Amino acid sequence: MKIVVVGLNHKTAPIDIREKLAFDTVEQLRALRELKNKFAEAEFVLLSTCNRVELYCADKRTGGIEAEHLIEFLARFHNIEPADFQDSLYIYKEADAVRHLLTVTSSIDSMVVGEVQILGQVKESYRLACTAKSTGKVLNRLFHCAFATSKKIHTTTSISSGRVSVAGVAVELAMQLFADISSANVAVIGAGEMGELLLQHLLHVGCRNITLINRSYDRGLKKAADYGVRAGKWEDLDEQLTFANIAIASAAVQDYLFTKKAISKILDRRRKGALLIIDIAVPRNFEPAVNEIDDVYLYSIDDLSRVAEQNRKVREKDIARGMELVYENVAEFMEWLGAKDIGPLIGRMKEQFRQISEKELERFFVGYRQDASCKEVMKTMVNRIVNKLLHCVIKNVNGVAKKHGTTEAAKLVDSIVRQAEEISSELNNNNKKLSQNCHPERSEGSGWLK
């Protein structure tokens, strides 16, 4: 089997590219089913968060899907040209792909190192793949390995201590930009997981004048009651921004909630004072041109990187220990993958050796030899020789597996199988020609084979 991941994230692509490739839940399911219908033998998991879009694939070792196929699929699904995002992509294969997933799931690759939300997002992506029936034995094992690695890193290090989430960093940025956040009127747009985290962090830093606005008013009302804040109606969004000092948005929508023109109209009704907007949604809730308006300061999720970098620096020791655990688990998974592949490959190698011996015997026993009395004895002898040679080959394969790992051993067996298949095919063609040209006439001196 081969494993490949094609993706982009906050480090390789700006938000205007990431939002073009983002998937909501319905789109994820549709994409996974389309992929499985097109490539029935392969396995797929699709991860889409505010900071990354990644497509994982496991397929048979020879032939099958290449990274280019996955790139073409992403472009076609979103109706954009590959050239629009190809320079922002990374492609990882085999052990590198396994390592990448483990670092992502453990939050080591996150904008905010130590965040626990990414584990839930990866688990949800895997659940959707199971629902779409697009995953299988290899990716099942790989993703459970990633979940176990994340748990071990978070329980044996201090990587997740402190304010470690995008929501936490957003609130920290607001504190740096707003003199007295405790007295600010804050509008939180969206009551999903990120919106709930925003409420927790805002309350933690002493902010009490908070209004939660959600598309579903009943859900927003319940969440607001849970945290002791006000709930606002979706249709009153404009009015909420008229009185807000800070707006933090994380609503799941495909189009902008507010354009530059809409915010300009709201400002006409506002009293004096700046409006700080932190938009951590992907796709974005606010048109970027909003930042051109006087007294409006718009920050996207990509603008949180400076604060997030400070967070990374204080966790360097935890990151190093986490990477040690990642590499240990990558090695274990690759051993399993190699062992999984090597058994069937050895079976194929034995079958090819058997076919070669049979075709050589067939090549020998033609013409006046085809009725030779020693035919069965020679077959038995050749089979014994082939089995002894196979024993030597398998012994050497086991030696390679012990010294260099089962992945390298599987590559060796795969190479032998390929060569044996070529020999077998060539013998088959030669035997056909020989059969056509041979005349079964016996000569006087042929009695030695009786």
**Can you give the CATH number for the domain in which 117 is found?**
3.30.460.30
The letter for the amino acid at 258 is: F
Long-range contacts (CB closer than 8 Å, 24 or more residues apart) made by 210-218: 210/186, 211/185, 211/186, 211/187, 211/240, 211/244, 212/188, 213/187, 213/188, 213/189, 213/237, 213/240, 214/189, 214/190, 214/251, 215/251, 216/191
Same domain for 203 and 156, yes or no, is no
Q: Is residue 108 part of a domain?
A: yes
Q: What are the mean pLDDT values of the chain's consecutive 10-residue runs (450 residues total)? A: 93 94 96 95 95 94 82 96 95 96 95 88 97 96 97 90 76 84 92 91 91 94 95 93 92 90 90 86 93 91 80 83 94 83 81 85 78 82 86 82 77 85 78 58 42
CB 325 within 8 A of CB 394: no
Q: Is residue 253 part of a domain?
A: yes
Same domain for 136 and 170, yes or no, is no
Same domain for 188 and 80, yes or no, is no
Same domain for 28 and 156, yes or no, is yes
Q: What is the pTM of this model?
A: 0.73
User: Quick one: pLDDT at residue 83?
Assistant: 94
Coil, strand or helix: which one is 77?
Answer: helix
User: Quick one: pLDDT at residue 97?
Assistant: 97
Same domain for 14 and 34, yes or no, is yes
Cα distance between residue 69 and residue 91, in whole Å: 12
Catalytic residues: 50
Cα distance between residue 434 and residue 414, in whole Å: 30
Contacts of 245 (CB under 8 A, 6+ apart): 178, 184, 185, 186, 273, 274, 275, 276
Strands of the sheet with 43-48, listed across from one edge = 43-48, 52-59, 2-9, 90-93
Pairing type for strands 230-233 and 210-214 reads parallel
- Which residues make beta-bridge pairs with 5? 56, 92
Q: Is residue 17 part of a domain?
A: yes
Q: Is residue 59 part of a domain?
A: yes
Query: Which position has the token pair 């004048």?
Result: 209
Q: Is residue 42 part of a domain?
A: yes
User: Quick one: pLDDT at residue 438?
Assistant: 55
Rounded alpha-carbon distances, angstroms, from residue 62 to 39, 42, 59, 78 = 14, 12, 9, 29
CATH number assigned to the domain comprising residue 196: 3.40.50.720
Q: Is residue 210 part of a domain?
A: yes
Same domain for 7 and 151, yes or no, is yes
Same domain for 121 and 18, yes or no, is yes
Give CA 435 to chain center in angstroms.
54
Q: Is residue 251 part of a domain?
A: yes
Same domain for 237 and 190, yes or no, is yes
Q: How many domains does the chain have?
A: 2
| CA geometry: angle 241, 220, 281, nearest 5 deg | 60
Query: Which position has the token pair 């629902």?
Result: 131
Same domain for 7 and 141, yes or no, is yes
Answer with the one of 162, 178, 212 that is the final residue of a domain: 162
Going by the DSSP 8-state scheme, the letter that residue 236 receives in this structure is G
Cα distance between residue 247 and residue 83, in whole Å: 35
Cα distance between residue 233 and residue 213, in whole Å: 6
Q: Kindly report the backbone phi and psi dihedral angles of residue 178, in degrees, each rounded to the nearest multiple of 5, phi listed first.
A: -120, 120
User: Quick one: pLDDT at residue 6?
Assistant: 98
- The first and second tokens of residue 11, run together, are 């480090």
Coil, strand or helix: which one is 125?
Answer: helix
Cα distance between residue 167 and residue 104, in whole Å: 18
User: Quick one: pLDDT at residue 437?
Assistant: 61
Same domain for 175 and 156, yes or no, is no
CB 51 within 8 A of CB 18: yes
Q: Is residue 400 part of a domain?
A: no
Q: Kindly report the backbone phi and psi dihedral angles of residue 108, in degrees, each rounded to the nearest multiple of 5, phi listed first.
A: -70, -30
Same domain for 170 and 155, yes or no, is no
Provide the domain limits for residue 72: 2-162
Answer with the one of 280, 304, 328 that is the final residue of a domain: 304
CB 75 within 8 A of CB 153: no
Same domain for 40 and 141, yes or no, is yes
Coil, strand or helix: which one is 93?
Answer: strand
Cα distance between residue 9 and residue 400, in whole Å: 37
CB 264 within 8 A of CB 243: no
Answer with the one of 304, 330, 360 that is the final residue of a domain: 304
Query: Which position has the token pair 């050589």?
Result: 360
